[in-house]
Structure 1
Amino acid sequence: MKANGMLLKTMLWLTLTCLYGQAMPVQAASLIAKKGHVTVPIASLEQLQNIKGEWEFYYQEFLSPHELRSLDDKYRTYFSVPGKWHNNKANGFHLKGNSFGTYRLTLHFDRRPMGSVKLKIDEIPSAYRFFIDGELVVEQGKVAKEADSEQPKAGARVVELTPGDRSVELVFHTSSFNHYQGGTWYPLVIAKTAVFEQKRVINQIGNLTLTGGILIMGLFFLGLYLFIRREIVFLLISAICLTGIIRCSVAHGDTIAHIFFPDLSWHMSRLLMFSSFYLFVPVGMSLGVELLPTKLGRHATRVCWLFLPVFLALSLSGNTNLSSRMNIIPNLLTLCLVSVHLAAVIITYLPQIQRHMASIIGLSALVLTGFHDLLVAMDALASPNRFQNTLLIGLTLFVILQTLKIASQFARGESRARDSKSEVLRLNQQLEESIKLLNERLTEAGAKLIQREKTASLGYLTAGIAHELGTPLVNIENAFSKLDHKDGEAPISPKQITEFREGIETGIQHITHVVESLKLVAKPSESTPTSSVSIENILLHVRSLTKARFLHSDIRYQIVNHLDDDKVQVQAQESQICQIIINLLNNAFESLQSFRVIGPKVEIHVDQTFDSVLFTVMDNGRGIPEKIRSQIFDPFFTSKNLGEGVGLGLSMARSMAEQNQADLYLDETQANTAFVLKVPLAQEETTELSEVS
């Protein structure tokens, strides 16, 4: 398995190296022509130079170099190279893609070149002839003024430049009746001969390595399918390799097919390019569906195969001008269908996205390819480039590598499964026991953590409770000190004794109520059944435990009761309802303290609906950010700093609410933070309301 993994990594490394070499454009500077003239510094020819800019241009005319020299300046017009004729203008005149014309450019060297200089003319649709200093040096196809007379030819040409002096005149005639866009797609490239040869060798080695690797892969999987295992995946991989090779070999410019077959005809190159692409898409879609099946992907693949005969018939028609125009339709269809399949794959296999990353990257590459070809067909890009070919190759190799990996793992896993069945069963049994033990420990730890959080929330009220107990104790102490009559003091009247006794009783009652509220909230209540609880008692318990804390911190604290009758009862555990409201008040207190709100206030609003009572705890703080609102009730989620909380307050509060058939939620319609606790009315209250209705 390690050796197989090393092989896959080596293949991937070589693939990416070749892709990088092919995808990176040839590093070339640019010489900008103006008004049909360009200055060429000899020192700049140590690297490739693109000749761009304004050439003299004569639309729908074939003018010889001699005629151009004698032409009056007022008749001269200019057009950019590279530049397409289709949907373009020259001197305000609308150009047609299917036409002909003459270009002229004068090169001015800063000194006479030492040694030979070469000029590369990339593919120009669909025929041209090239003159240097009035001499015809290249004729690619046969230019004509009519479609019937034109003989198109594909491929790039390199010519040697031997200037007699420091100026060289370049003239070429071009016609484009076999491609609807016309014009020149690429800049001319000039450099010293040694530079050209070096780049040519590097380019050919990269093309041969990449093409040879894909061819070997295609034949390998074809052999697997024919002689070892009839898996449809192997046949699809073989087909995608072979169609990808054809597509990339004849796509544009100085490619493998044009190097080995310099006489390849224009119609044959276009036939191979279009038909291979039309076949490549459904085969690639079928392979993607086999590797990562989705329902939408299968429907998209059927549509691809359904339209394949139509597009193949178009490419076989021999009308390359029509097929070039109509190429936007299969490109658009491809982009839409592959995008649908890619989206379905990502949605379906999102949990295991890392395992299927290679196939997803491959599908993404095909989407980018289709998008690029669509832009070219719509004239949104100035000229096609080689990157579309490398994307297709990248898709092929990524899918192949992923398939090899899956096939290898499947074969080894199948052989090992028979030998390790008992071991798997034993491990499964151990795992089940470990999970059971872990669940028990987690349940126990969770209960302890919840009780600790509950105790901690009461701990926050310690200062307030101390104040609530301290005030009546001081009053009792004062009353007893006055009842302790000393000699020489005025006697205490019976009326004063009665007042002191009533004050002592009131203080004792207040202390008793606070202690009972504290015991009620602090005691475990999981096993306590629900009962009818009055709203008045709930509010008294909450107020006695929380009021002092807010008043001590100068926070306005108010309970707004909108009920017509304080004796209204709810069906709930009184301790848990009080604990929930106290937790919400603690959160409001900490929020106001941390943000130092001016004029802080906290309010509890009590309202009644047909079947429930609503306790709304709101403050005038900054509110809860929208991006975390969906997480605030999650266990262990907290926006506090590390060590300031464990994030169980709201989670525990909602859990207790659910135990009481109540609901706790954030009211997002309020400008400030507002939590609503919705508690069902007691059965008798609901019955009375129904009778009134």
Structure 2
Amino acid sequence: MDNKYLDSLFNNTIEGIIIIEDGFIKNINNAMLDILKYEKKEELINKLATGILIPNIHKKFLEFNNDIYEEVTLFSKNAEIVPAIIKIKDFEYENSSYKILYVLNLTELKQNETLLIEQSRMAAMGEMISMIAHQWKQPLASIAAAISNLKFRLEIDKIDKESLQNKLVDMDKYIIYMSETIDDFRNFFKKDKEKMLVSLDYIVDISLEMLNKPLSNIKVTNKKIKLNKLYIYKNELLQVMLNILNNSQDAFSENKIENPTINISYKETHDEQIIIIKDNAGGIPKNIIDKIFDPYFTTKEKRNGTGLGLYMCKTIIEKHFKGEIKVKSEKQNTSFKIIINKFI
């Protein structure tokens, strides 16, 4: 096998390859040049590898085809940030030690992930609009009744200042409630631009308030403990909570559970905070429980389920909170455990 053939093989691989000696780039293939938007190898050869490769402060790894890859950030020629995963091998050649880096570009994958998150949010928006209508129905009916009562009193000329004042106070309360409700939902659909210092139980409280009407016939227990506040993306975690609680509510309805209950509890360790949501909505069949976090897997075809809800919950918790989401189902009970890394 001649050098010309090996050189052709080196330059026509799908993944990028960098050969490093003592921290300096000694060779680079064409796929790597494309990833970094360089035209010639000479622009990078004998330059420090740290000029293009930025390790993450907290090392992140993922498994692919039984190999472990490290997630890193690359810096392209035009100063763009390129997400990537790398695998490093040590090898010896002519009494010299080298490192060979195999690089896979994650840009398209990250873009698709962002699109999926937005698609999931849009699917949730339809449900949220229905919830807003449900939340507003009672206060609107109360305001209409108060107005009708006042009109009747005016017509028969039997209205007094005190009763008028009381009716106006009641209507004002309903309007404030409706305003707060719409603000809650509007804030949910804002894209988080920065992390907020909040406690997990506060986010759970918001989710329960937003689902107040849909969950009104369900006994919800929220067993709070003292939790340290975390710098996190509030709306991301809120999306996870709303999805899981909505799934429980749907399961209660579908399975016609007579005494529906949801129990929410918390745990805190040195490294993690945990939310546990447990319901008695009928459980998850063993033949599908391993699939519920897969993209586009749904048991709600008749109700236009997208199959993205739990997949996005898993993606959000793993990618944005460096955590994990687990599910366990026994008999009629299902519990979701949301594990969040405190040092993200």
Give the structure-2-normalised TM-score. Answer: 0.60
Which residue number corresponds to residue 472 of structure 1?
Answer: 139
Which residue number corresponds to residue 514 of structure 1?
Answer: 181
Equivalent residues of 2:322, 2:340 under 8 A apart: yes
The 3 A distance-change label for structure 1 pair 540 and 446 is: same
Alignment of 1:473-492 (within 5 A): 473-484=140-151, 486-492=154-160
Which residue number corresponds to residue 590 of structure 1?
Answer: 250
1:633-682 Cα deviation digits (max 9, x unpaired): 34444455599445332232133334235542224567511112345789
Distance (Å, rounded) in 1 between the aligned partners of 2:253 and 2:234: 29
The 3 A distance-change label for structure 1 pair 640 and 508 is: closer
Alignment of 1:438-449 (within 5 A): 439-449=106-116
How far apart are residue 585 of structure 1 and its match?
Answer: 1.5
In structure 2, the residue corresponding to 1:486 is in which secondary structure?
helix
- Which of these residues, 601, 604, 616, is aligned with residue 276 of structure 2? 616
Distance (Å, rounded) in 2 between the aligned partners of 1:564 and 1:646: 35
In structure 2, the residue corresponding to 1:559 is in which secondary structure?
strand
Distance (Å, rounded) in 2 between the aligned partners of 1:606 and 1:474: 36
Distance (Å, rounded) in 2 between the aligned partners of 1:557 and 1:524: 31
Equivalent residues of 1:464, 1:547 under 8 A apart: no
1:573 matches 2:241: no
1:664 matches 2:325: yes
Alignment of 1:350-369 (within 5 A): none
Alignment of 1:165-204 (within 5 A): none
Equivalent residues of 1:621, 1:673 under 8 A apart: yes
How far apart are residue 468 of structure 1 and its match?
Answer: 0.5
Distance (Å, rounded) in 2 between the aligned partners of 1:622 and 1:575: 29
Distance (Å, rounded) in 2 between the aligned partners of 1:419 and 1:464: 64
Which residue number corresponds to residue 72 of structure 2?
Answer: none
Alignment of 1:193-272 (within 5 A): none
Equivalent residues of 1:664, 1:675 under 8 A apart: yes
Which residue number corresponds to residue 425 of structure 1?
Answer: 11
Distance (Å, rounded) in 2 between the aligned partners of 1:666 and 1:458: 25
Alignment of 1:60-71 (within 5 A): none
Distance (Å, rounded) in 2 between the aligned partners of 1:546 and 1:522: 15
In structure 2, the residue corresponding to 1:624 is in which secondary structure?
coil
Distance (Å, rounded) in 2 between the aligned partners of 1:477 and 1:518: 24
In structure 2, the residue corresponding to 1:673 is in which secondary structure?
strand
Distance (Å, rounded) in 2 between the aligned partners of 1:616 and 1:542: 14
How far apart are residue 490 of structure 1 and its match?
Answer: 0.6
Which protein is bigger by CA-based radius of gyration?
Answer: 1
The 3 A distance-change label for structure 1 pair 463 and 644 is: closer
Which residue number corresponds to residue 501 of structure 1?
Answer: 168
Aligned length: 258
Alignment of 1:399-438 (within 5 A): 414=1, 422=8, 425=11, 433=34
1:632 matches 2:307: no
Distance (Å, rounded) in 2 between the aligned partners of 1:549 and 1:454: 19
How far apart are residue 509 of structure 1 and its match?
Answer: 2.2
Distance (Å, rounded) in 2 between the aligned partners of 1:512 and 1:642: 33
How far apart are residue 582 of structure 1 and its match?
Answer: 0.6
The structure that is strand-richer by fraction is: 2
The 3 A distance-change label for structure 1 pair 504 and 539 is: farther
- Which of these residues, 212, 216, 225, is aligned with residue 547 of structure 1? 212
Alignment of 1:17-28 (within 5 A): none
How far apart are residue 503 of structure 1 and its match?
Answer: 1.0
Distance (Å, rounded) in 2 between the aligned partners of 1:557 and 1:468: 16
RMSD across aligned positions (CA): 3.9
Which residue number corresponds to residue 558 of structure 1?
Answer: 219
Query: Which residue type is aligned with residue 673 of structure 1?
Result: T
The 3 A distance-change label for structure 1 pair 576 and 439 is: closer
How far apart are residue 618 of structure 1 and its match?
Answer: 2.8
Equivalent residues of 1:622, 1:672 under 8 A apart: yes
Query: Which residue type is aligned with residue 425 of structure 1?
Result: N
How far apart are residue 506 of structure 1 and its match?
Answer: 1.6
Equivalent residues of 1:620, 1:672 under 8 A apart: yes
Which residue number corresponds to residue 50 of structure 2?
Answer: none
Which residue number corresponds to residue 455 of structure 1?
Answer: 122
Equivalent residues of 1:530, 1:660 under 8 A apart: no
Alignment of 1:296-375 (within 5 A): none
1:148-170 Cα deviation digits (max 9, x unpaired): xxxxxxxxxxxxxxxxxxxxxxx
1:410-444 Cα deviation digits (max 9, x unpaired): xxxx59x9569548735766766499998434432
- Which of these residues, 677, 681, 688, is aligned with residue 338 of structure 2? 677
Distance (Å, rounded) in 1 between the aligned partners of 2:249 and 2:130: 14
The structure that is helix-richer by fraction is: 1
Equivalent residues of 2:262, 2:280 under 8 A apart: no
Distance (Å, rounded) in 2 between the aligned partners of 1:674 and 1:423: 51
Which residue number corresponds to residue 599 of structure 1?
Answer: 258
Query: Which residue type is aligned with residue 211 of structure 2?
Result: T
In structure 2, the residue corresponding to 1:626 is in which secondary structure?
coil
Equivalent residues of 1:570, 1:613 under 8 A apart: no
Distance (Å, rounded) in 2 between the aligned partners of 1:670 and 1:681: 33
Equivalent residues of 1:455, 1:522 under 8 A apart: no
How far apart are residue 539 of structure 1 and its match?
Answer: 4.0
1:650 matches 2:305: no
The 3 A distance-change label for structure 1 pair 569 and 492 is: farther
Q: Which ranges in structure 1 are unaligned for 5 or more consecutive residues?
A: 1-413, 683-693
The 3 A distance-change label for structure 1 pair 564 and 598 is: closer
The 3 A distance-change label for structure 1 pair 681 and 600 is: farther
Distance (Å, rounded) in 2 between the aligned partners of 1:584 and 1:573: 18
Distance (Å, rounded) in 1 between the aligned partners of 2:342 and 2:31: 47
In structure 1, the residue corresponding to 2:154 is in which secondary structure?
coil
Among all aligned residue pairs of Structure 1 and Structure 2, give the percentage whose two residues are the same amino acid: 19
Query: Which residue type is aligned with residue 218 of structure 2?
Result: Y
How far apart are residue 473 of structure 1 and its match?
Answer: 2.2
How far apart are residue 474 of structure 1 and its match?
Answer: 2.5
Equivalent residues of 1:619, 1:674 under 8 A apart: yes
In structure 2, the residue corresponding to 1:666 is in which secondary structure?
strand
In structure 1, the residue corresponding to 2:171 is in which secondary structure?
helix
The 3 A distance-change label for structure 1 pair 563 and 641 is: closer
Query: Which residue type is aligned with residue 476 of structure 1?
Result: I
Query: Which residue type is aligned with residue 265 of structure 2?
Result: V
The 3 A distance-change label for structure 1 pair 561 and 504 is: same
1:552-575 Cα deviation digits (max 9, x unpaired): xxxx3232122367xx66423332
Distance (Å, rounded) in 2 between the aligned partners of 1:426 and 1:643: 48
1:312-365 Cα deviation digits (max 9, x unpaired): xxxxxxxxxxxxxxxxxxxxxxxxxxxxxxxxxxxxxxxxxxxxxxxxxxxxxx
